[in-house]
Amino acid sequence: MFKYELKRLLKSRLFLILILITVAYRGFITVNFFKNYNESIVYDKETAVQINAFLKDAESKQSDRESLRMAVKNAYLEVQEKAATDSDIRNTPGSYGKNLLEDWTIVEAANERAEYILKTYPEQMRKNVSQAALTVNDSSQDAYTVRKNQKIIDKYNVKKDFSLIDTSAADNWLVLTKSFDYFYVFLTFALFFLASEAFCSERTRSLEGLVFTSKKGRAKLFSSRFISLTVIAVFLTVIFTAADTVSALYIMGYRLVVEPIQILPDFIGCMANINILTFIILCNLLRFALLLLAISLAAVISPLLRNIFAVSLSGGLMLFTAFALNIYAKNYIVFDASNPFTGKIDMARYKLYERIRIFLPTCFSSPAAYFEKFDYFRLADFPVSRIAFCLSVTVGLFAVFTLFGFLRFGRPYRFLQKKMIRGKRNGTEI
């Protein structure tokens, strides 16, 4: 029955329409990105080779990290001084590139990398740990504060082995990553509508009588449809994870992709001991959890409303409300219309965003926010991870929705149940 249901879903008109729209939408985002950024990507790759060669040469000549940082900084100041006194830096031969302008570009980027990796990041971690240690040893602090700061010590007092390499290419990759947030919103709706059609199909084709005839038959039919939809969700997750990985490798290269995520300044506060590739996989697994929840939502609504239009409308409104709340809250940086390059934080939105990320599964459509900082909240007197709690809520809702949908699937209307009972009593058939 599973194979039959899977084939039926894959051959259905709704699936074909949704998959075509999904591929077209994903393709449009990808093509549009590379059309606008490919020149920048190629330039960053070429420049990265020169920057990494400069850093490798500087690293081979120094015995300790501080001497290395100062050597790179002195080289930058030297080139900067030459450029300030040279009237034609494009035609002046360079030491590291074709001309003095390229030298300036190379050593400036190298200095930024050295400052972040050798000074900014380790100093920030030491500051976090030292301040947390002072708080832990302060007897006047309450239990929650002590536990939270002990957690900070445990998470940040871990040595990260960064390679001294250029990370400019990651800026383009982050732009691509964020541009897919709305795509996964669409994908969640698409899978929900497909699930709604699957769980309401026998009512759409007036075949409810066949479903009602066997309790075991109902169980097998529900399981087959649910597993078929899950297989589709798994397939889509694997395909899009592979596509994200290929894009990351093309944009950044293998060497940067396997570096710890904290090598990127946007993730300086990340607590997880993961590299960029693992980050990509984890983000798609969280989105997969959201897709499973959408399937279970369709499973729990369909026995209640019994009509594909009603199920799609009611469930669609629930998802729309949840996604709209997430999108509204996460855009807490408000930009001035007269000056779009500067913005201010709307504290009301920011606080709302921090709250809904605790329990709202639709936040998994843009999961990067869970990895950017020390992301814990207070529950009683204990610090609890937002991502762990939200994932627990998602799993709990999925289990409840699936169980209720399974118990109610294929059961007749209440008036039909009464009519069948009366018919049995009178010796007649319905």
Q: Are 192 and 308 members of one domain?
A: yes
Q: Are 412 and 334 members of one domain?
A: yes
Q: Are 151 and 172 members of one domain?
A: no
Does some domain include residue 15? yes
Locus of tokens 């395909």: 239
Q: Are 77 and 137 members of one domain?
A: yes
Q: Are 343 and 389 members of one domain?
A: yes
- For 348-386, what is each residue's pLDDT tens digit? 999 999 999 999 999 999 999 999 999 999 998 899 999
pLDDT score for 415: 43
Beta-bridge partners for 379: 382
Instruction: Report the b/e string of 296-311 with b at 16+ CB within 10 A.
Output: bbbbbbbbebbebeeb
Does some domain include residue 429? no
Q: Are 280 and 301 members of one domain?
A: yes
Q: How far apart, in whole angstroms, are the C-alpha atoms of residue 171 and residue 271?
A: 21
Does some domain include residue 137? yes
- For 71-123, what is each residue's pLDDT tens digit? 999 999 999 888 888 878 888 888 888 888 888 999 999 999 999 999 999 99
Q: Are 312 and 360 members of one domain?
A: yes
State the residue range of the domain holding 80: 62-156
- For 313-343, what is each residue's pLDDT tens digit? 999 999 999 999 999 999 888 877 666 667 7
The residue among 156, 181, 208 that closes a domain is 156
pLDDT score for 424: 53
Locus of tokens 């026995």: 303
Q: What are phi and psi of 373, to 5 degrees?
A: -160, -175
Does some domain include residue 174? yes
Q: How far apart, in whole angstroms, are the C-alpha atoms of residue 276 and residue 245?
A: 10
- For 142-177, what is each residue's pLDDT tens digit? 999 999 999 999 999 888 888 999 999 999 999 999
Mean pLDDT value of segment 256-277: 93
Q: Are 360 and 304 members of one domain?
A: yes
pLDDT score for 93: 87
Residue 211 predicted with pLDDT over 90: no
Q: Are 114 and 144 members of one domain?
A: yes
Least confidently predicted of 22-36, 119-133, 270-284, 401-415: 401-415
Model pTM score? 0.89
- 5: pLDDT confidence band, cut at 50, 70 and 90? confident
- 212: pLDDT confidence band, cut at 50, 70 and 90? low
Does some domain include residue 363? yes
Count of domains for the chain: 2
Residue 391, SS3 per DSSP: helix
Q: Are 112 and 171 members of one domain?
A: no
Residue 72, SS3 per DSSP: helix
- 430: pLDDT confidence band, cut at 50, 70 and 90? very low
Does some domain include residue 53? no
DSSP 344-375: EE-HHHHHHHHHHHHH-GGGGGSGGGGGSS--
pLDDT score for 423: 55
Q: Are 323 and 416 members of one domain?
A: yes
Q: Are 127 and 192 members of one domain?
A: no
Burial class (CB in 10 A: 0-12, 13-18, 19+), 75: buried
- 6: pLDDT confidence band, cut at 50, 70 and 90? confident
How large a percentage of the chain has pLDDT more than 90? 66
